[in-house]
Copies of this chain bind each other. A is one copy, B any other.
Amino acid sequence: MSENHYQPLDEETLFLVSQTFKALSDPTRIRILHLLFECELSVSMIAEALHLNQSNVSHQLRFLKNLRLVKYRREGKTVFYSQDDEHVMRILQQSIDHATHH
């Protein structure tokens, strides 16, 4: 008896959701965000901690910044990055926990 009122996803939502998950689909970006669970860090500190070259980290941070998943703060020559989206960070944390306990 119940009719099917399927509401298709609009283009904008679809794009935003897919972009957000794309950010979380790359191991390097996951590792960077995982570091930023704890505290803010400079580009070079992230690069050193994860054994990645500076350019690579910088590119990935730009990606994350464009999606507003991280924010930055300049202090002299150094730029500190930190998380900027609680919702996404919570999802990432949940997923890591879920994957770990399996």
Contacts and interface: CB of A to CB of B under 8 A. Distances in A.
B95 A17 contact: yes
Nearest to A87: B98
B24 A18 contact: yes
A14 interface: yes
Contacts of A24: 17-18, 21, 25
B25 A21 contact: yes
How many copies of this kind of chain does the complex include? 2
Contact of A38 (B4, B25, B27): B4
Contact of A20 (B18, B22, B95): B95
A34 interface: yes
A20 B94 contact: no
Nearest to A11: B27
A27 B14 contact: yes
